[in-house]
């Protein structure tokens, strides 16, 4: 089993410069601990995502890490011009020595699309138009759009033909689409729903002998005792949830993929664990078996968890959870 990190880059209390430095230091710790990859969400107009330009933040990640793979999970593709995005992807892949992962999506928040003048009803069509343009440019080094002159990128990806592509899945149909394209996946849903996606993906694989990473995202807090970890999670999670629902409350809309408003309820859905190393390891083993996923993606930093609390959690996870998981 490989283990990675998912991060909303949500900021509950800290001044921006201090928050950025603390998060980059934490990502350095992920690198030292041997995590496979760091996956960054993209959001706008909300404290849920303090990296509205993921590529800017990921350029800093490239400079601060040595082995950790990283990338957006996902680029909200309707918000980008495909030529500029292709060029920036090439730059990041070169800057990182070929450690970039790329994920593409339609944009999970209609409100955030509207901030950029994009009609959410058109997001699917824009996604379908932009994606092949970006992928072709990455592979060929030439941006080709019908009705326009071909443009040489002059920068190219280090990884050939392109950096690995990732996709968020919420249904067996989306898993099948990813499998047919050879993309890796992450699900943030309950284990039973993720299992349906895993099975659909494996049935649709182009190469049955391939070993794709099928990720399962979970909130994780580790402390010496169950009680201590649960208290931390119960305190921090409402701050994250406030940021998660900010735009929905402000604009009277609804979240596309809702989350419960208490840690207890989230844990009850199987989407988070707070406990001692043994408790966390037992939970993860059960979740991975039920979901038939092979890549754990932990959301360790959220809400108002302090740098010290996070350092303890990551240290315990590295030295006392990961060995139990065979990593």
Report domain extents, the chain. 2-71+214-325
Q: What is the DSSP letter of 322?
A: G
The predicted-structure confidence for 160-193, as pLDDT tens digits, reads as follows: 999 999 999 999 999 999 999 999 999 999 999 9
Share of the chain above pLDDT 70, in %: 98
Q: What is the mean pLDDT of the chain?
A: 96
**How many helices (H) and strands (E) are present in the chain, helices listed first?**
12, 12
How far from chain centre, in Å, is Cα 192? 20
The pair of structure tokens assigned to 191 is 């284990």
Q: What is the reported pTM? A: 0.97
Are 150 and 143 within 8 A, CB to CB?
Answer: yes
Helices (H), the chain: 16-33, 54-64, 82-95, 110-115, 123-140, 172-181, 191-204, 226-244, 246-251, 263-268, 277-291, 307-316
Dist CA 326 CA 213 (whole Å): 16
Give yes or no for a cis peptide into 161 (omega within 30° of 0).
yes
The predicted-structure confidence for 184-210, as pLDDT tens digits, reads as follows: 999 999 999 999 999 999 999 988 767
- Residue 132's alpha-carbon distances to 21, 137, 139, 170, in angstroms, are 36, 8, 10, 22
Instruction: Give the CATH fold of the 2-71+214-325 domain.
Output: TIM Barrel (3.20.20)
């Amino acid at each position: 089993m490989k283990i990675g990190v998912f991060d909303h880059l949500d900021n509950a209390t800290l001044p921006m410069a201090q928050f950025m430095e603390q998060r980059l230091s934490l990502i350095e710790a992920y690198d030292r601990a041997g995590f496979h990859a760091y996956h960054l969400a993209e959001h706008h107009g909300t404290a849920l995502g303090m990296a509205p330009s993921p590529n800017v933040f990921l350029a800093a990640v490239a400079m601060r890490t040595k082995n950790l793979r990283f990338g957006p999970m996902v680029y909200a593709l309707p918000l980008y011009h495909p030529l500029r995005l292709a060029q920036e992807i090439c730059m990041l892949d070169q800057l990182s020595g070929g450690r970039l992962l790329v994920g593409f999506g339609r944009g999970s928040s209609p409100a955030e699309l509207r901030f950029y003048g994009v009609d959410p009803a058109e997001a699917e069509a824009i996604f379908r138009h932009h994606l092949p343009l970006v992928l072709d440019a990455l592979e060929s080094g030439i941006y080709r759009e019908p009705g326009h002159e071909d443009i040489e990128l002059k920068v190219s990806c280090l990884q050939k033909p392109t950096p690995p592509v990732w996709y968020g899945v919420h249904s067996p149909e989306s898993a099948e689409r990813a499998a047919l394209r050879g993309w890796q996946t992450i699900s943030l849903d309950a284990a039973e729903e993720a299992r349906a996606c895993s099975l659909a993906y494996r049935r649709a694989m182009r190469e049955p002998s391939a070993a794709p990473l099928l990720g399962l995202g979970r909130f994780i807090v580790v402390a010496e005792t169950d009680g201590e970890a649960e208290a931390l999670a119960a305190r921090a999670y409402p701050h994250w949830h406030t940021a998660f629902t900010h735009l929905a409350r402000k604009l009277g809309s609804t979240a596309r993929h809702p989350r419960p408003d208490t840690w207890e309820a989230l844990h009850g859905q199987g989407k988070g664990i707070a406990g001692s190393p043994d408790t966390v390891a037992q939970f993860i083993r059960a979740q991975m078996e039920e979901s038939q996923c092979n890549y754990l993606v932990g959301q360790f930093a959220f809400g108002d968890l302090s740098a010290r609390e996070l350092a303890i959690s990551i240290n315990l996870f590295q030295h006392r959870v990961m060995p139990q998981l065979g990593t």
